[in-house]
Amino acid sequence: MSMKNNIYQNTEENIKKAAEVIKNGGLVAFPTETVYGLGANVYNAKAVASIYAAKGRPAFNPLISHIAEKDFLKEYAAVDERVLALADKFWPGPLTFVLNRVEENPALDLACAGLRTITVRMPAHPTALALIKKSGVPIVAPSANRSQTISPTTAFHVADSLGDKVDMILDGGQCRVGVESTIIDITGKNVVLLRAGGVALEDLEEFLGEKVLISHGNPDLPTSPGQMLKHYAPSHDFRINALSREDGEFFIGFGAVTDCDLNLSPSGDLCEAAANLFAYMRLADADKNHDKIAMSPIPETGLGLAINDRIRRAAYKK
């Protein structure tokens, strides 16, 4: 496919078409006021895995979920007066909230990188809002570029960086803000700034009437990418790169492994394995008949890098 063939003008007709792509598990790049996002249905783990694959994202970092109406928040996040007041003041706009998840919905695990928090914002761009409303689901979307390349602020940047890895690119012109959203954690007593961005710290403090703490990746303050090793540990002992099961182990296989309790992907498809990873680890950890977990080796290529990063953290012993 020529690079520019998947760029579509943001007409009502094309937005409707893009919403169908999202509903069917595809990827759509769309404009927000900050940068272009690479979007998928937040509840479709296979689609979310394909975002990581398209970006060549080295680890499963939490992804921002985009909503078009505040009522969507209650679907999956714990909401209180302070959250709603901040949303009324700053949404739609470049401010992202980290909130506690309300229920253990395993479909959200990959988008949340296995954390008990969800990261969410309402973008201030008519095309983004129309796409989310038409799709009928929150759209999870990191920036629409390959990992560690410059964030895209036009549809052509997206095409240059991702080419045909994205089903549709909706062209909404140049992004107005051009820097990523500000991220704040509002799960505790204090509001904590995790990433500076399109909304100024001073404006937040003035509105809240209190100091906003700043996290510099201090383990005692929450961090947005959830890179702390302790986030990831199942309660059972966890052995990785296992070639066969040992006594008492729940064995998660990959590829042509038959003597296993669950197989991430019998065909060896890393995208399928990534989509199943969190759900299978939960099932293994909840299994009453085993007190340990083992997992087959996963190749260190493509999405395998992210899977290995995740399971190394899960198997980490202090």
Asked if 255 and 180 sit in the same domain, the reply is no
Residue 197 confidence (pLDDT): 83
Q: Choose one of 181, 214, 247: the last residue of a domain.
A: 214
Asked whether residue 43 falls in the same domain as residue 98, the answer is: yes
Q: What is the pLDDT of residue 299?
A: 94
Is the domain of 101 the same as that of 182?
Answer: yes
Q: Is 98 helix (H, G, I), strand (E, B) or coil?
A: strand
Do 151 and 49 reside in the same domain of the chain? yes
> Which residues, in sequence order, are CB contacts of 31 under 8 Å at separation 6+?
10, 37, 125, 127, 128, 155, 170, 171, 172, 173, 175
Q: What single-letter DSSP state applies at residue 211?
A: P
Determine, yes or no, domain membership for 220: no
Instruction: Report whether pLDDT(130) > 80.
Output: yes
Rounded to an integer, the average pLDDT of 19-45 is 96
Report the DSSP pairing between strands 168-171 and 28-31. parallel
203 and 249 both lie in a single domain: no
| 246 falls within a domain | yes
Give Cβ neighbours of residue 288 (< 8 Å, ≥ 6 apart): none
**What total of structural domains would you count in the chain?**
2
Helix axes 45-55, 270-286, angle to 10 degrees: 130
Segments in 120-249 forming alpha helices (H): 126-135, 155-162, 201-208
Residues 64 and 182 in one domain: yes
Question: Is residue 219 one of the residues assigned to a domain?
Answer: no
Q: Answer yes or no: is 244 within a domain.
A: yes
* For range 96-106, the mean pLDDT: 89
**Domain assignment present for 149:** yes
- Which value, in Å, is the radius of gyration of the alpha carbons in the chain? 20
Percent of the chain at pLDDT > 90 equals 64
Residues 192 and 250 in one domain: no
Q: Are 168 and 21 in contact (CB under 8 A)?
A: yes
* pLDDT single digits (tens) 236-272: 999 999 999 999 999 999 999 999 999 999 999 998 9
- Mean pLDDT, rounded, of the chain: 89
Report if residue 221 sits inside a domain.
no
Domain that holds residue 279: 229-315
Q: Tokens at residue 86, please?
A: 């901040």
Asked if 204 and 168 sit in the same domain, the reply is yes
Which among 284, 297, 286 has a CA at the least distance from the CA of 254? 297
**Mean pLDDT across the stretch 1-5?**
54
Range list of β-strands (E), the chain: 7-9, 28-31, 36-41, 64-66, 95-100, 117-121, 139-140, 168-171, 182-185, 192-195, 213-214, 237-239, 249-253, 262-263, 292-295
Span 33-38, average pLDDT: 94
Q: Which of 79-83, 112-116, 146-150, 163-167 has the lowest mean pLDDT?
A: 146-150
Do 157 and 306 have their domain in common? Answer: no
109 & 187 share domain: yes
- Residues 6 or more apart whose Cβ sits within 8 Å of residue 135: 19, 22, 23, 41
State the pLDDT confidence band at 305, using cuts at 50, 70 and 90: confident
pLDDT of 186 above 60: yes
Residue type, 281: M
Q: Tell me, yes or no, whether 222 lies in a domain.
A: no
Q: What is the CATH number of the domain that holds 31?
A: 3.90.870.10
Q: Are residues 55 and 131 in the same domain?
A: yes
The larger pLDDT score, comparing residue 230 to residue 184, is at 184
Q: Which of 119-123, 175-179, 297-301 has the lowest mean pLDDT?
A: 175-179
Q: What is the CATH number of the domain that holds 269?
A: 3.40.50.11030
Q: Is residue 188 part of a domain?
A: yes
Q: The pTM is what?
A: 0.84
* Boundary residue ending a domain (187, 214, 241): 214
| Same domain as 141, residue 106 | yes
